[in-house]
Amino acid sequence: MKKNIAIIMGGFSSEYGISMKSGNVVFNYLDPDQYNPFRIIITKEKWVYLDKNEREFPVDRSDFSIMVDNKKITFDCVFNAIHGTPGEDGLMQAYFELLGIRQTSCNHYEAALTFNKRDLLSVLKPYNVPCATSYFLNKGQEIDGDAIVAKVGLPCFVKANRAGSSYGVSKVYKKEDLEHAITNAFKEDNQIIIESFLEGTEVSVGVITYKNEVTVLPITEIISENDFFDFEAKYQGKSKEITPARLNPTQESNVRKLAETIYRVLGLKGYTRSEFIFIGDTPHLLEVNTTPGLTEESLLPQQAQCAGISLGELFDSAIVEALR
């Protein structure tokens, strides 16, 4: 019997549009002989099922079911394609755990932890994971430009602590530009992280559970046409992405081992994509994404394709692992 799969997409953050693209790609590539896919749009205003004729049917949040033509439909599994809140920060994961519904991403605590860059780095510190020097700032705190520069140096990156797709990120060269960058980051989150600039090769490493095994996918090297890998570089063609990356054997071995170690140490499952910058042969962690982009152009699907895994196989594997 075919499984009913709810593909959740949308969300509450600036990443809404990217999530809608990811969710529709999953919808189009899931095998119709195995699955009945349902597009579920989640926003602050409404939770609805969107059928092929673009008709909307409300979701009953008490049990995450829908009524279509007087028939109640429940779901065997939820495919999470929401980037940002509430799909990547643990809220939806906790909701589905309470309802006892299987879902494709990591569990709620791990999602909340990885979405919070500051907490993630703090948890990984005892495991000697190399990363940039950082300075934490909350909304309402005094901005001490001298202290920030003394800690992280210039240039530096100012980032929203809990945001993705490079929203709220600025590269700052002069102390007098810090305040504007901080104001920009606070538009996305009331917590920010300011990090030292690491100059080196940037790579993205997908780690997934595939056929019941933790699998490190081929590595992608990122060369941005812009000053850094910002929104334009990620989604508007302003970057060159090379898979597999042009790394020496030591670099490749080091980053593969570190990416897998992080996945296992944090107890992750499903899809992840971690970003690193090399200083010499040592990879330094930038962030971990637990709901990475899933469009045809996104990095994780590129890496899967390089490994000989089609989009259909990639999406099928997430459901198989969730139901295992």
Q: What is the CATH number of the domain that holds 150?
A: 3.30.1490.20
Q: Are 31 and 316 in contact (CB under 8 A)?
A: yes
Answer yes or no: do 259 and 126 share one domain.
Answer: yes
The rounded distance, in Å, linking the Cα atoms of 307 and 217 is 7
Answer yes or no: do 295 and 251 share one domain.
Answer: yes
The rounded distance, in Å, linking the Cα atoms of 155 and 228 is 12
Kindly give the parts of the chain with pLDDT less than 70. Answer: 164-166, 226-238
Answer yes or no: do 149 and 268 share one domain.
Answer: no
What letter does residue 198 receive in the DSSP assignment?
Answer: -
DSSP readout, 206-275? EEEEETTEEEEPPPEEEEESSSSS-HHHHHSS-EEEESS----HHHHHHHHHHHHHHHHHTT--SEEEEE
Look at the chain and report how many structural domains it folds into. 3
Answer yes or no: do 165 and 307 share one domain.
Answer: no
The rounded distance, in Å, linking the Cα atoms of 305 and 218 is 9
Last residue of a domain, one of 68, 88, 105: 105
Q: Which pLDDT value is given to residue 230?
A: 46
Q: Which pLDDT value is given to residue 248?
A: 97
- Tell me how crowded residue 143 is: count the other CB atoms within 10 A of its CB: 11
Q: Are 227 and 221 in contact (CB under 8 A)?
A: no
Residue 58 sits in a domain of what CATH number? 3.40.50.20
* SS3 label, residue 43: coil
Give the H or E element holding residue 305: helix 299-306
Residue 225 sits in a domain of what CATH number? 3.30.470.20
Q: Are 267 and 110 in contact (CB under 8 A)?
A: yes
What domain range includes position 24? 3-105
The rounded distance, in Å, linking the Cα atoms of 286 and 62 is 38
Answer yes or no: do 88 and 124 share one domain.
Answer: no
Answer yes or no: do 14 and 70 share one domain.
Answer: yes
What letter does residue 131 receive in the DSSP assignment?
Answer: B
Answer yes or no: do 138 and 203 share one domain.
Answer: no
Among left, alpha and beta (phi > 0; psi -120 to 50; other), residue 153 is left
Tens digit of pLDDT for each residue in 94-136? 999 999 999 999 999 999 999 999 999 999 999 999 999 999 9
End-to-end Cα separation, the chain, in angstroms: 16
Q: Are 131 and 157 in contact (CB under 8 A)?
A: no
Burial of residue 194, with CB atoms counted within 10 A of its CB: 0-12 exposed, 13-18 middle, 19 or more buried: buried
